[in-house]
Structure 1
Amino acid sequence: MSRTRMRPVVVGTIPNSHAIAFGICTNIVAFVMLTSMVNLLSAVLTLCATLFYVLVYTMALKRTSTQNIVIGGAAGAIPPAVGWVAVTGSLDLPAIYLFAIVFFWTPPHFWALSLLLKDDYASAKVPMLPVVAGVDVTKKSILLYTLLMLALTTMFALTGAVGSVYLVSSVVLGVLFIYYAWRLMRRPDIEGAKPLYLYSLLYLALLFWR
């Protein structure tokens, strides 16, 4: 892909073996640090996130399924749960909600990006949803996942883990997300994909700012 062709591993500046060794070493260090300084459960979850990303997303799904970033998104959704476990020491319902919120945020975020890079993904033979199913299907899928995400962020408030400030801000931020997704779906081609992608970054930062 044009956007990744100059990365150090791709051009050979960093050999594959060195990158693998570095990844293994950093994960070992992270596991030891989390186990000794935080708790074992947070260390196990962190390791699971890495293994899921490498084995399930990168090796099994990325080049074989349009659902690559949906299922693979679980790896990126684990860190918020790790944060909860690090503080509380247990995998409670709020941690599951934190996982689910990021899990359902991931498809709209990455599908918006894949609309912008559709030709790049196609040339690299990566079966992203816009490449295989088309732009219109992708737009509808973005809106669907955005609606589900808003429902989850609202339901999270019912756990008692957050207060009224979170509830109000999550609804406002979610409605804005829906607006961007709806605008993308109603406009021709991929107009609106970039604003949606950029807003998705801001959305997650503002949602979890406290």
Structure 2
Amino acid sequence: MSDMSLNETIHPKDGHEPSMGDYYALMKPRVMSLVVFTALVGLLVSPVPVHPFIGFVGILCIAVGAGASGALNMWWDADIDAIMKRTAKRPIPSGKVAPGEALGIGVALSFFSVVLLWLATNALAAGLLAFTIFFYAVVYSMWLKRLTPQNIVIGGAAGAFPPMIGWAVATGSVTIESVLMFMLIFMWTPPHFWALALFVKTDYGDAGVPMLTETHGRDSTRKHVIVYTALLVPVAIGLGFTSIGGPVYLTVAVLMNAWFFKGAYDIWKRDDAAADADNYAVEKSVFKVSLYYLFAHFVALLIEAALRLNTGTF
């Protein structure tokens, strides 16, 4: 099914009026929650104090921008979402929201969030938000997602920008601290999603999405998981030696990276026969660890910021 024919092939269910819950689901709330959290950390750990109202508006704009990206992604991907089991119940393929309506919402929220962020904070933060929306909706969703098995690596950049935007809201600049926060999420994304792809099995292949598991096989995917995890470790620990790091962060980073790398190593050492035998228990466990991993690092950064505030240092 071509994307251009979506408006002709997917319609809301007869008599169904979209609810607020349907529109909320269109904006990928789980992804939005991660965006808001990491952006807020980027703002709070910066050395420049921000007025609470300006900070609230800034985070709101980033959240709305993330929701706009989600709506545009769901509009474009409605054809493949209808095929994959884990996405078939999304608002468009389930017939709750019309594709054209999702497109309109996505475009309107994109302009609203970028313009308001510019007016409330600064041009750099607004520019980064605009680029993030464009990158996720156009570069990733419309171009590279269906073109290359490195789609997750490239797409990870969109999810990595929020702490950099939060930092820019406060400081109006991009520094080594914000770049490393970006790199932390960017390098974490591939092993996180490839662990998921290993036990989701045929969903991506059925939809024609060139996920690494489908194009290069599961053994190659396992190797990629450990390679990208190994590349992630120095980035995560290196952040601890910047102005926003410290002993609490470094302790958390060392422990979490040891845990995550051990999981990646266990995935690498396995084969499909072993994974089938225990119903992909290791892969599922590593995926769960990956969720704790990112949360723990950003909470540790918040703790370090609170300790600096308490001692009056930065």
Give the TM-score taking structure 2 as reference length: 0.65
Among candidates 138, 142, 167, match of residue 59 of structure 1: 142
Structure 1 residues 32-111: aligned runs within 5 Å: 32-111=115-194
| Matched residue, 2:224 | 141
Q: Is residue 219–residue 271 contact of structure 2 (8 Å, CA) maintained in 1?
A: no
Higher relative contact order (CA 8 A, sep 6+): 2
Task: Give the Cα separation in 1 of the matches to 2:222 and 2:121.
Answer: 41
**Structure 1 residue matching 2:93: 3-state secondary structure:** helix
Gaps of 5+ in 1: none
Task: Give the Cα separation in 2 of the matches to 1:80 and 1:135.
Answer: 32
Matched, 1:201 2:291: yes
Task: Give the Cα separation in 1 of the matches to 2:89 and 2:247.
Answer: 46
Matched, 1:160 2:250: no
- Matched residue count: 210
Among candidates 163, 169, 180, match of residue 263 of structure 2: 180
**Structure 2 residue matching 1:8: 3-state secondary structure:** coil
Among candidates 126, 132, 135, match of residue 209 of structure 2: 126
Task: Give the Cα separation in 2 of the matches to 1:83 and 1:148.
Answer: 25
Amino acid at match of 1:81: M
Task: Give the Cα separation in 2 of the matches to 1:95 and 1:13.
Answer: 39
Task: Report the more deviating stretch, 151-160 or 65-74.
Answer: 151-160
Gaps of 5+ in 2: 1-83, 303-314
Task: Report the more deviating stretch, 29-38 or 115-124.
Answer: 29-38
| Structure of higher CA gyration radius | 2
Q: Indicate the RMSD between aligned Cα atoms, in angstroms.
A: 1.2
Task: Give the Cα separation in 1 of the matches to 2:131 and 2:117.
Answer: 13
Q: Is residue 159–residue 185 contact of structure 2 (8 Å, CA) maintained in 1?
A: yes
Q: Is residue 110–residue 130 contact of structure 2 (8 Å, CA) maintained in 1?
A: yes
| Matched residue, 1:10 | 93
**Structure 2 residue matching 1:10: 3-state secondary structure:** coil
**Cα deviation, residue 121, structure 1:** 0.8
